[in-house]
Amino acid sequence: MIQEAIARVYLHSKDDMDLIVTLPGTKYQLYLEATTPVTPSPQGRLFGIIQCPVYKVDFVSAGGAYIEPVTGRPRRVQGKVIATILDSNSVVLDVCNTPIVGRLPDRWQVSQIEIGTRLALDIPQGASFAPSPVKKVTAV
């Protein structure tokens, strides 16, 4: 686990292993599968990794960071690469100040993607949230 991949979200609701989380400062409500049971802080905060399988990668030169749809399971995310994870062939995108990890298909090698590149990722079902005991550290 790398520090750049840890997201801070708020728990909106949960049912067994299905979660609805909100991103701070946005209207986004993401429907995610929990990899293990989650226990939010008294304020509803969760720290962990949002991970998505990717089936299509687009290199983009314009446009902002976003998640489609605003409410529901993520189907497309766009943002700037802030880290790469070689052993899992994954990129960490900054999407609306929240890191999202995309596991790339074999035809794309993360070693060929530079930090700062803007990507749009198409996501099939399977976006998940893995709780982290470590909180995200922010610069002062």
What mean pLDDT value characterizes the chain? 91
DSSP for 100-136 reads EEEE--TTS-GGGS-TT-EEEEE--S--EEEE-SSPP
3 state SS of 20: strand
Which is it for the CA torsion 137, 95, 122, 59, positive or negative? negative
Q: What is the pLDDT of residue 111?
A: 92
Please, which pLDDT band fits residue 62 given cuts at 50, 70 and 90? confident
pLDDT tens by residue, 22-43: 999 999 999 999 998 888 888 8
**Contact (CB, 8 A) for 78 and 65:** yes
pLDDT-derived band of residue 138, with 50, 70 and 90 as boundaries? Answer: low
Phi, psi at 126, each rounded to 5°: 120, 10
Per-residue confidence band for 78, with pLDDT thresholds at 50, 70 and 90? very high
- Calculate the alpha carbon distances from 90 to 49, 114, 129 in Å: 12, 12, 15
Could you give the C-alpha distances from 137 to 5, 6, 38, in angstroms and in order?
11, 9, 20
Q: Look up residue 35 and give its DSSP letter.
A: S
pLDDT band, very low/low/confident/very high, at 3 (cuts 50, 70, 90): confident
pLDDT for res 41: 87
Residue 140, pLDDT > 50, answer: no
How do residues 91-114 score in pLDDT, each as one tens digit? 999 999 999 999 999 999 999 999
